[in-house]
Amino acid sequence: MKQVKGRWACLFLDFRFYLPLKTIQGKKETATIRGEVVPFQTKMAQAAQMLIEITEHFSTVPILAVTDSWFGNNGLWKPAYKAIGNRFNILSRLRCNNVLYDLPEKRKPKQRGRNKKYGQRLGSATDMAKTVQQEARLYNVNLYGKQREVSAYSRVVMLKTLKRPVQVVWVFRRTQWIALFTTDLNLSITQIIEYYGARWKIESGFKELKQDIGSQKSQCRNAQAVTNHLNFCMMATTLTWIYADRLKTNPERRHKVKGRTSFAFSDIRRIIAEAALDPDFERVCPKYSSSPVNSVVTVLLRMVA
């Protein structure tokens, strides 16, 4: 995710095709792609593998994985943290039945035995939401393209699912609430809320990839062709957003929508198309006056004639 001209954009870096175990086992012959046997991988294992491979290209940059509650557990955290180290952190939604514990007390002088890993039991996320709502404060957060006032409360607790301290932020709405947690204890409350809110732009990224770029219109049936087509579509989407980030001014929204002032992905595509049709563009990328002819083929044809 990257902020481009004041709005969040999804820049694709990697992908995996998930094949269920029953699909692989249900084939009479061994499932193969490009002659290689397809091993079964869970979604957790695929997500962890992608994160590990991406961090190899960004060896000095801290990685923050923002996920939904399904991925926010030790299944993703443990293998990724083991391979990446302290550069890796996770931000996710806390399930309402997750039990939270206080930080362990400091070791007393002449205390025997091992240190306690967890402090006093605080209750579930739902139980704590009822008690901390009165202590919530208002924060000005850039959420869903607007500056909004959000009522939130934060506390550092121990989470047994990750076996480590996490920062939990309860966000209270009029009638509902959600709890977010992160392993990065240095993030502010506004950053946690804003980053999790930006996660929904991934769904917009899927729409841009499928409909605007045309990944779903592929007629390929070969596994290699399907992979190549999706790779090119992802590259085109990412380059489009990079082009928008390099523009000096914000693009204007062509189709006005009530309540939306930011530009759309289609507006950037229109600007790129206009630039490609400009006469000056042919000076950099000249058009061929005639199709290129292979000299070797020409000689062979003359010999045959």
DSSP-based three-state secondary structure for 4 = strand
Which pTM does this prediction carry?
0.81
Whole-number Å distance between alpha carbons of 295 and 305: 15
Tell me the pLDDT tens digit for each residue of 156-192. 999 998 999 999 999 998 889 999 999 999 999 999 9
pLDDT at residue 9 is higher than 80: yes
- Residue 300 pLDDT class (50, 70, 90 cuts): low
Token digits of residue 91: 């931000």
What is the predicted pLDDT for the residue at 250? 83
What is the predicted pLDDT for the residue at 86? 92
Q: Which of 104, 47, 51 is nearest to 70 (CA)?
A: 47
Tell me the pLDDT tens digit for each residue of 54-84. 998 888 889 999 998 899 899 999 999 999 9
Alpha-helical runs (H) found in the chain = 21-26, 43-57, 74-84, 125-132, 189-198, 201-207, 223-246, 265-276, 281-284, 295-304
Ramachandran region, residue 145 (left: φ > 0; alpha: ψ -120 to 50; beta: rest): left
Tell me the pLDDT tens digit for each residue of 267-292. 888 888 888 777 776 665 666 555 55
